[in-house]
Amino acid sequence: MTEGANEPKLTHRRFENGDTMWNWKDLPSKIFQADKSYKCPTYVHRAPPCQGSCPSGHDIRGWLSIARGMDKPPVKDMPWQRYAFDRMASANPFPATMGRVCPAPCETGCNRNEVDDFVGINAVEQYVGDWAIENATRLPAAPALGGKKVAVIGGGPAGLTAAYFLRMHGHASTVFESQDKMGGMMRFGIPGYRTPREMLDAEIGRIFAFDGVEQRLGVRVGKDISIADLERDYDAIFWAIGAQKGRPLPVPGADAVNCITGVEFLDAFNRGWVFSTAKRIVVVGGGDTSIDVASVARRLGHISNPHATDAAGAAKHGYQAHDVAGVLERSGVTVVLTSLFPVEKMTAAEHEREDAKREGVEIRGGVMPLEVVLGPDGRARALRMCECTMKGNVPSKVEGSEFEVECDMIVSAIGQMADLSDGLEPLDGGRGAIAVDQVYKVRKKDKHFAGGDAVRPHLLTTAIGHGRIAAETIDHFLHGSLEERRPKVDVHQFNLLDELHRRGLEPSPYDHVQTRGTSAAKFAVHNYEDRGATQVIPHDDLYLGHFGYVGRSKRQERHVGAEAVIGDFSERMSAITEEQARKEGQRCMSCGMCFECDNCVIYCPQTAVQRVPKKERALGRYVYTDYSKCIGCHICADVCPTGYIQMGLGE
């Protein structure tokens, strides 16, 4: 990439000067005598890397093609945003939430990074999710209930997603939640300035708007209802209880009264129980939870002279009531966040780290805790640490580098585990988690399935993916056909037959008459192959020279400085505009799927590649090849920007 007058210009070239695909003297023999002459274009769908990187399995390429205007709604006068929302909901019913808080591994995997910058996937997702809320958009219609009922234990992202997709498979469910509200970690583990509660309520409310999806709040399964009761009353059980127990620091003195876990801290804050925090805090972690703890602590500040309104009875008023009465008494909190890994290798998203530092959080990487130093009163007064190096995930102490960080509170945000007490002990698969097989069935327990943080603490979007996949496997179980393994690329795949059916273009029934080839047959989708469940298309299968430099449409962020952070609980990130969303859709390179650029039609020297008649077109069916004209020259595959054309056998 070279620097032009106003913007970078691309210099992607498949060949350097003097290079050709073949030596021109051998070209005739290469075409007509070697293995090229019988290879003609086949249209091969493969999963794009954005989708392959998405733990929820979003059909990202699909809804970006809608944003760009290529895949038009099948119903007249349907807004494209509604069509895109339906496509998003086919894998993830929480686009507004995930568009805000997901660390976006899809953007890291985006092939557009090889050209200029990734496509703003999260930004488009947030835009469409917010549009759906503003327009009171409901989830797609569900089929009739089939008589089976599933118990879903836990109303977090995994449980709610499972309940939704079970309903889409025709199964009723009851979601049992021990708290007084649904949402799990989306509500009680993430501060409201990242997941606004009105937005969260709207997205959760859509799921319970379905007939057959019930909720029971304030019920602790194992204590209030036994496992045996569930096994008696339900056809299957899905465990999505999350990981509410934080892991304490594995060092001496960590049981001091002012040493707590990040889960405890954020849970208390999100319930409105915390109005102030300690003057000096050390947060040990390095992931997103530790960032949230540090950022919340800086916003809360420290109150040295409490007012009468700070009493426990004032909790119902929330922190804003306290701000009115005691804002003049608040002072800044010193927060030091430590990580075993160097700062640039922390698991927390880079923009979250930068925001935290801007807000006054000191971040120290490459250090490990050794001991909680106790004062005469038995409370932690400092954390003794040292520098360390990492060998994989194992820290190694640097001798002679010990130091102490004085503090009034220590927060451990080094991991979480499921609470499998009070009657849930039979589910314990070791290390505070529920053990499952490849299809999310609980090991050695019939009718029981599990997903989310109770299986493996990870991202919210990972829990959503678990819920979607588990719902599908539970559906198979209820129909007596539970599989033993899942697809290699286990995402919500594009299905060409579904796309054709949606537009009334499905193939005719097969007549079971033997024939040579399928080019003229109406019962087959000619020269198309679906490898989406087994292959993710790499960037070197694309013709990157087709794509010019186009800057990414970035969301506006409201950065908060260290001096203004106290009491600032307003949302930091603004949605992009419709114009920007469409632009990001146009920046998508549609990896592994035709995006109707016409290169193959224009450059075919034999006019063998032609457009499908307009009335028969659908996503993935824009061109076809007349094999009676094709000579196997490979030009169409060479100029295909998306890697959709692969050379294979004809007929």
**CA 371 remoteness from chain centre:** 36
Q: What is the predicted pLDDT for the residue at 20?
A: 59
Take residue 332 and report the two structure tokens written for it: 């800044």
CATH number at residue 187: 3.50.50.60
Domain boundary among 383, 415, 447: 415
CA distance linking residue 41 with residue 101, whole number of Å: 41
Tell me: do 617 and 500 sit in the same domain: yes
Would you say residue 102 lies in a domain?
A: no
Take residue 284 and report the two structure tokens written for it: 């040990």
Report the sign of the C-alpha dihedral through residues 519, 525, 528, 531, in that order: negative
CA nearest 364: which of 385, 395, 391, 390? 385
Q: Which helix (H) or strand (E) holds 203?
A: helix 197-208
Strand partners, 436: 442
Query: What angle, 0 to 180 degrees and rounded to 10, lies between the N-to-C axes of helices 197-208 and 157-168?
Result: 30
CA nearest 616: which of 509, 512, 529, 526? 526
**CA 150 remoteness from chain centre:** 25
End-to-end CA distance of the chain: 41
Q: What is the predicted pLDDT for the residue at 37?
A: 55
Half-sphere exposure of 17 (CA within 13 A, CB side): 1
Q: What is the predicted pLDDT for the residue at 523?
A: 87
Q: What is the predicted pLDDT for the residue at 23?
A: 56
Tell me: do 218 and 252 sit in the same domain: no
Tell me: do 224 and 265 sit in the same domain: no
Q: What is the predicted pLDDT for the residue at 53?
A: 95
Would you say residue 127 lies in a domain?
A: no
Q: What is the predicted pLDDT for the residue at 513?
A: 83
Q: What is the predicted pLDDT for the residue at 320?
A: 37
Count how many domains the chain has. 3
In terms of Cβ atoms closer than 10 Å to its own Cβ (0-12, 13-18, 19+), residue 232 is: exposed
Tell me: do 256 and 405 sit in the same domain: yes
Q: What is the predicted pLDDT for the residue at 573?
A: 86
Tell me: do 507 and 642 sit in the same domain: yes
Residues 6+ apart with CB under 8 A from 500: 506, 507, 525, 618, 621
Q: What is the predicted pLDDT for the residue at 244?
A: 87
Tell me: do 258 and 220 sit in the same domain: no
Tell me: do 383 and 464 sit in the same domain: no
Which residues form the domain of 283? Answer: 247-415
Q: Are 115 and 10 in contact (CB under 8 A)?
A: yes
Query: What angle, 0 to 180 degrees and rounded to 10, lies between the N-to-C axes of helices 578-587 and 60-67?
Result: 120
SS (H, E, C) 306-375: CCHHHCHHHHHHHHHHHHHHHHHHEECCEEEEEECCCHHHCCCCHHHHHHHHHCCCEEEECEEEEEEEEC
404-463 residue pLDDT tens: 999 999 999 999 999 999 999 999 998 889 999 999 999 989 999 999 999 999 999 999
Would you say residue 185 lies in a domain?
A: yes
Would you say residue 128 lies in a domain?
A: no
CA nearest 174: which of 156, 157, 160, 188? 160
Q: What is the predicted pLDDT for the residue at 649?
A: 66
Q: Are 142 and 168 in contact (CB under 8 A)?
A: yes
Q: Are 457 and 417 in contact (CB under 8 A)?
A: yes
Residues of the chain under the 50 pLDDT cut: 1-5, 31-36, 306-328, 651
Tell me: do 430 and 410 sit in the same domain: no
| DSSP strand pairing (380-391 vs 394-397) | antiparallel
Nearest-10 Cα torsion for 141, 143, 148, 154: -20
Strand partners, 391: 394
Would you say residue 392 lies in a domain?
A: yes
In terms of Cβ atoms closer than 10 Å to its own Cβ (0-12, 13-18, 19+), residue 316 is: exposed
Tell me: do 257 and 296 sit in the same domain: yes
Q: Are 192 and 270 in contact (CB under 8 A)?
A: yes
Tell me: do 237 and 253 sit in the same domain: no
Left (φ > 0), alpha (ψ -120 to 50) or beta: where does 519 sit? alpha
Would you say residue 124 lies in a domain?
A: no
The residue type of 56 is S
Query: If DSSP codes are grouped into helix, strand and coil, which group holds residue 544?
Result: helix
154-176 residue pLDDT tens: 999 999 999 999 999 999 999 99
CA nearest 173: which of 127, 216, 117? 216
Would you say residue 84 lies in a domain?
A: no
Would you say residue 108 lies in a domain?
A: no
Take residue 430 and report the two structure tokens written for it: 């070791």
Tell me: do 264 and 321 sit in the same domain: yes
